[in-house]
Amino acid sequence: MRPSPFHLIFTLPLFLMLLGCSNNGPKAMERSLQEYNQGQWSISAMWANKALNDKSDRDEAAYLLGLCEFKMQHVNKAKGWFEQAANSGDEAVRGRASAMLGIIASNDGDYVTAALAFEQASADLDGIDKTKASARSAAAKNGTPFASIVSRGGYTLQFGAYQNLENAKHAAAKLGSDLRLAGLGSPAIVEDKSSVGKTLFMVQAGSFDSRGAASKCRKRNGLPQCIVTAVQ
């Protein structure tokens, strides 16, 4: 059974999986998943495009193409692929694609569309994925970005501290899709003073009730290097 890429919505990156291969080598979809695991978004997209020719993989390939385009920050292209996958006869693929459409709408501040998309995702999914989609739907109906209701605590994830504001802005921009897929929204740049009085610009994201919760989020989502720190 091929591993499902749906967990990319909440867990990044995918763990390297062992895929069954025929005597003629791995199928295009398997190659696409392998390249995605290694962070090769454009190569993964190339193989997913090839997989579109295989009727049995077409819907999943469209979904994975959406993920690749989203990772490359081509949001409009990603949306098109997710819309195609959201019409799949496969409930799991349909649910994953609907959830991603919800994430895109929520990031754009369109909470009405986001709520409907997450509601559809919840109807098609099972287990923890269903629970997460339901939570996102409820947040969107209240006009609340999902990241802000994850927790309202005294800890956050810090992705660097910079003496130069432009460097901090550049670092924050690079985090983009990783944070959105983890449900953490956009990073914040927080100004503070070092122990010797120098101004520092810290790139932070997320709000957690405990240090342990923040650490679990960091590990579960395979986020770029960061530390857990108390909110100042």
CATH, residue 105: 1.25.40.10
Range of the domain at 188: 150-230
| Residue 153 to residue 229: CA distance in whole angstroms | 11
pLDDT of residue 104: 87
* Averages of pLDDT over each 10 residues, the chain, 232 residues: 41 32 62 86 92 88 92 90 94 92 84 90 87 80 55 74 88 82 78 77 83 85 86 68
| Residue 93 to residue 129: CA distance in whole angstroms | 12
Same domain membership, residue 188 and residue 114: no
Count structural domains, the chain. 2
Output DSSP code: residue 229.
Answer: E
Same domain membership, residue 170 and residue 105: no
Same domain membership, residue 65 and residue 25: yes
Same domain membership, residue 133 and residue 76: yes
Quote the tokens at residue 159: 């992705």
Same domain membership, residue 160 and residue 119: no
Same domain membership, residue 110 and residue 159: no
Same domain membership, residue 131 and residue 154: no
Same domain membership, residue 131 and residue 39: yes
- As a residue count, the chain comes to 232
Domain finish residue from 127, 144, 161: 144
Same domain membership, residue 131 and residue 94: yes
| Residue 169 to residue 173: CA distance in whole angstroms | 6
Same domain membership, residue 71 and residue 20: yes
Same domain membership, residue 137 and residue 22: yes
Same domain membership, residue 198 and residue 94: no
The whole-angstrom distance between residue 86's C-alpha and the CA centroid of its chain comes to: 17
Beta bridge partners of 193: 199
| Residue 151 to residue 153: CA distance in whole angstroms | 6
